[in-house]
Each structure stands twice: as structure tokens, then as C-alpha cells.
Chains A and B, each alone.
Chain A
Amino acid sequence: MLSSATVAADFEQVSVKRLVKTYGTTRALRGVSHSFCAGEITHLEGENGSGKSTLLRLMALLGRPTSGEIYFGDEPASEPQRFRAQIGYSGHEPMVYPDLSARENLDLFARFYGYRDKEERLKRLARLEELLGHGAYLGRPARTYSRGQLQRLSLGRALLHSPRLLLLDEPTNGLDREGLERLGRILDQERARGAIILLVTHDERFASAVCDRRIRIHHGKILDADAAPGP
């Protein structure tokens, strides 16, 4: 609980083994097993309520599975603190502070991820400019943002620390055509960097354009998994 000196781990693959998650009487995941490799973007598809978001949340270490295990490389996720610095997650909510601006939020989270040097933080923010764009909105409190601006900020927060594992739940929601193009370019860059990327989206065109693999989830189980048609 008070330990903070653990060394962050690195890994080339993330595996889930017989993952089960139950909420009360509802079984959101019913024994999901799969491995995700570095340098690949995997599209998780399935109907609403099939367990896609639950799988992403568990892999982001936001909660414990009812049973089953998650492995980062060969190591089980029994010490979550070791892996958090290598995980980036963007979900349905922005997960930022509404009274701080985009710049302030990203600077704050960069400090939480351990970037003490101000120059380093400015460099990271500059790298996100392709996603965030330029505009006066970056200096305004996040509560004044449109849906699309919040989505960009949320994605920026997930990408800020160049994570090994990138989990994106409906990242295309609220993005305009320019935003989608920027996101696609950034995902290509992340893939080239060797990131393991999981993407949940109902935007089939975007998924077909960027993803290497496709996994179909139905009622908490993987129905099939195959290589997606190439970009």
C-alpha cells in the first residue's frame, strides 16, 4: 500500500487467461483467453453489453477479475503498481479535471506519471499537438469543451506517457473527420513504436483502416479472432 519504489515492468505481450467478471448476478465476461502482441492494433467488436468495455477496464487494472489472470509478458498482474506506468486507457468518460484546462490537465498527469522535468513535459505536450490541434480551447477549463474536444483531451491523457499497452474504448466518439485522420496517424505511429493496442469502436470504416486483427466478443466470450483486412 505504501510502497512506491517498485520498478516499472516492460513487456512485449499481454495475455488474459480464463478471465471472468461478474457484477452481482450478471456475468460480463465468461472465461476470456487471448494474447495481444506488440506492434499490433486489435479491434474488439461485439454487440452492446457483450463485455468489450469490461475487458478493457480489467486490462487497464481498474478493478479485479472475479477469476482468471492477466499477464504482462510472463508476469501476472498481482502487483498492479508495477504495470500502471505502461498502460494508457481512454474510456467513455474523459477522466480529467473539469476546472483545469487541457494544458493543465496534461501537465498534471505527466507529473503523476513521474515526469518531473518541465522541459520533458513540454516536449510530451508538444507531441500531442497533432491530436489536440491548436486553439484557444486548450487554455480554457475542460468543463467548457465540446464532446469532441473532451475526447481529444482524454486520448491525449492516455497517450501522454507513451504506454506499452494502449486501451481505447470508443475513441472515435465525437471526433470530426480531421480528428479521425489525426487519430489514425497517431495509432500508426504508436504501432510502429511497438505498442500493444486494443480498440473498441462501432466505426467499421475506421477499424478496417487501422486495425490488424479483429476479435468478436459475444455474451462475454470470444466467438472468433482473425486478422482484419489490412489498411
Chain B
Amino acid sequence: MMTLLRASLLVAEKDLRIEFRTKELLSAAGLFAALVVFIASLAFYLDPTEARRIAPGVVYVAAAFSGVLAFGRSFAREREFEAMRGLRLTPIPRAAIYLGKCIATFAMLSLINLGALLLVALFFHLDLERPLLHVAAFLLLTTAGFTAAGCLFGALTVVTRARDLILSVVLFPLLTPAILIGVVGSREALDGATGSELGVWYLLLSAFFALAIGGGLTLFELLIED
């Protein structure tokens, strides 16, 4: 019988293959993130000082909304032709379906969110040379926690009719702590904070990710059963 890791990578490979063929998720979520950044740059840019304070928020707003779009689209593929049921018929561990979706969605969202970060840097005239490592690390860690929670709730959209409600109303309150930590951590990094000063934010984001992935691995099977 297939190991959890191998099965997860197979699920992820399947998702990535479909995505690179259709480019549905990358184009929709990527374009949405770019629009959010562009509109925010028109609406909120005042001066370079204020821009540095606002910019992290813009990045995470773009990441949050494009993420919800991505989770919805990713699981819509499993609903069509009841493909998820075909997966459930196979002997792969249920956790592998969840982990595989997480891996693939994380890869795509990382691409989109790092792109959004670069756009924010451009439109808000940010100097990312020194803080880039920390800002990118916060973004990727938040994306990981976001993805772990989003894929769990994305599974709910396969079995319920209240899909849009689930993702927008239920998911966002759960993700608020991660988004806040990401914004505050990124702002402090842009203000020149060192790695040790940012340690507590890394710890909190890591804890959020651990909780989200643990919850996902525990609950996913229960959510997708008929």
C-alpha cells in the first residue's frame, strides 16, 4: 500500500499538472491579487512613510482574497464529475488527499503572493533589499498556515451547498490571527527589526501553522465522508 508521503505527492502532482494545463487558478487568483494591489496603490498611497506602514496590509489583503478564490477553484475541480469520490475509492490514506491539496495549493499561492509582494514593492516604492528575507519568510509562513486551514474548509465545499458562505464567512475569522501577525511582523521588518526581534512573530506563525495542519489531518476524513 502506498505511503502517506508518496500518495500526497501524487495528489499534488495531479493538481499541479491540471493547473499548468488550464492555468485557471493562477490566472484568476493572480489577476485578482494584482488588481487589489493596483487599486490599493491608487486609494491609499500618501507618502513614502505612510506607504511603508500600509504596504504590508495591502500584501495580506491581496493574499487573503486570492487565497479564498484559489481554495474554491481547487476544490471545484474535485466536485466536477465527482472526481473526489473516485479518489476516495482508492486505497490511499485520506490524509494524503488533504496533504496533497495543501502542497499543490501552497506552491501556487506562494507564486501568486510573492508576485503580489513585488508589485506592492513597486507601487508603494518600498526598499526591500535589507528586509526582503524576513518579509518573504513571513509571507510564506502565513501562506502555509492559510493553505492548511483553507484546504480543510475547501473540502467542506465539496459536500455542502453553502460553499461561498463557508469560505468567506467561516474561513476569514479563523485566519485573522495569522494575517495580523504577518502584517505586524512584516511592518517591523520593514522598520529594520532584526531576526531575534522578530522571533516571537515567527513562533506565533509557526504555532498557527502547526494547529492548522494538525486540525486538517484530524478532521479532513470526517468532513469528506458521505
In the bound complex, what is the Cα–Cα distance between A113 and B86 (angstroms)? 11
Q: Does B218 contact A (CB under 8 A)?
A: yes
Q: Does B95 contact A (CB under 8 A)?
A: yes
Would you mind naming 17 contact pairs between A and B with Cβ atoms under 8 Å apart? A1-B217, A4-B1, A4-B4, A4-B7, A8-B91, A84-B89, A85-B1, A85-B90, A94-B86, A95-B82, A95-B85, A97-B14, A97-B83, A99-B18, A99-B21, A99-B22, A108-B14
Residue from A85, A89, A97 having most chain B Cβ neighbours under 10 A: A97
Shortest 6 CB-CB distances between A and B: which pairs? A95-B86, A63-B226, A93-B82, A112-B90, A84-B91, A85-B91
**Contact string, A100-118, partner B, CB cutoff 8 A, digits 1/0?**
1000000011011110000
Would B85 and A4 count as touching, CB distance under 8 A?
A: no
- By a CB distance below 8 angstroms, the chain A residues around B10 are 108, 111-112
Identity of the chain A residue whose Cβ is nearest the Cβ of B82 in the assembled complex: A93
The contact of B1 among A62, A96, A97, A114, by CB within 8 Å, is A114
Would B81 and A96 count as touching, CB distance under 8 A?
A: yes
Docked complex: A46-77 residues within 8 A CB-CB of B? 57, 60, 62-64
Would A112 and B225 count as touching, CB distance under 8 A?
A: no
The contact of A63 among B1, B217, B225, by CB within 8 Å, is B225
Would B89 and A98 count as touching, CB distance under 8 A?
A: no
In the bound complex, what is the Cα–Cα distance between A111 and B92 (angstroms)? 10
In the bound complex, what is the Cα–Cα distance between A98 and B83 (angstroms)? 8
Would B3 and A109 count as touching, CB distance under 8 A?
A: no
- By a CB distance below 8 angstroms, the chain B residues around A100 are 14, 17-18
Q: Does B188 contact A (CB under 8 A)?
A: no
| A-B contacts, CB under 8 A, total | 100
Q: Does A136 contact B (CB under 8 A)?
A: no
Docked complex: B19-66 residues within 8 A CB-CB of A? 21-22
Taking Cβ atoms with an 8 Å cutoff, the residues of A that contact B are: 1-8, 57, 60, 62-64, 81, 84-85, 87, 89, 91, 93-100, 108-109, 111-114, 142-143, 150, 157
Would A81 and B89 count as touching, CB distance under 8 A?
A: no
Cβ distance B124 to chain A, nearest Cβ, rounded Å: 37
Would B90 and A94 count as touching, CB distance under 8 A?
A: no
Question: How many residues of chain B are within 8 Å of chain A by beta carbon?
Answer: 33
Would B18 and A4 count as touching, CB distance under 8 A?
A: no
- If the complex has contacts A95-B83, A95-B89, A111-B10, are A4 and B217 also in contact, measured as CB distance less than 8 A? no
Cβ distance A7 to chain B, nearest Cβ, rounded Å: 8
Would A113 and B18 count as touching, CB distance under 8 A?
A: no
Would B83 and A4 count as touching, CB distance under 8 A?
A: no
Identity of the chain B residue whose Cβ is nearest the Cβ of A6 in the assembled complex: B1
- By a CB distance below 8 angstroms, the chain A residues around B226 are 57, 62-63
In the bound complex, what is the Cα–Cα distance between A157 and B81 (angstroms)? 13
Docked complex: B89-136 residues within 8 A CB-CB of A? 89-96
Would A4 and B2 count as touching, CB distance under 8 A?
A: yes
Identity of the chain B residue whose Cβ is nearest the Cβ of A21 in the assembled complex: B226
Would A114 and B2 count as touching, CB distance under 8 A?
A: yes
- If the complex has contacts A8-B1, A94-B82, A99-B77, are A2 and B87 also in contact, measured as CB distance less than 8 A? no
A95-B85, A96-B83 given. 13 additional CB < 8 A pairs? Answer: A1-B94, A4-B1, A4-B7, A4-B93, A60-B89, A62-B226, A85-B1, A93-B82, A95-B86, A99-B22, A112-B92, A142-B81, A143-B81
Would A112 and B2 count as touching, CB distance under 8 A?
A: yes
- If the complex has contacts A4-B2, A4-B3, are A109 and B93 also in contact, measured as CB distance less than 8 A? no
Identity of the chain B residue whose Cβ is nearest the Cβ of A81 in the assembled complex: B91
In the bound complex, what is the Cα–Cα distance between A148 and B187 (angstroms)? 58
Identity of the chain A residue whose Cβ is nearest the Cβ of B99 in the assembled complex: A2
Docked complex: B115-171 residues within 8 A CB-CB of A? none
Identity of the chain A residue whose Cβ is nearest the Cβ of B80 in the assembled complex: A98
Identity of the chain B residue whose Cβ is nearest the Cβ of A112 in the assembled complex: B90
- By a CB distance below 8 angstroms, the chain A residues around B225 are 63-64
The contact of A62 among B17, B77, B85, B94, by CB within 8 Å, is B85
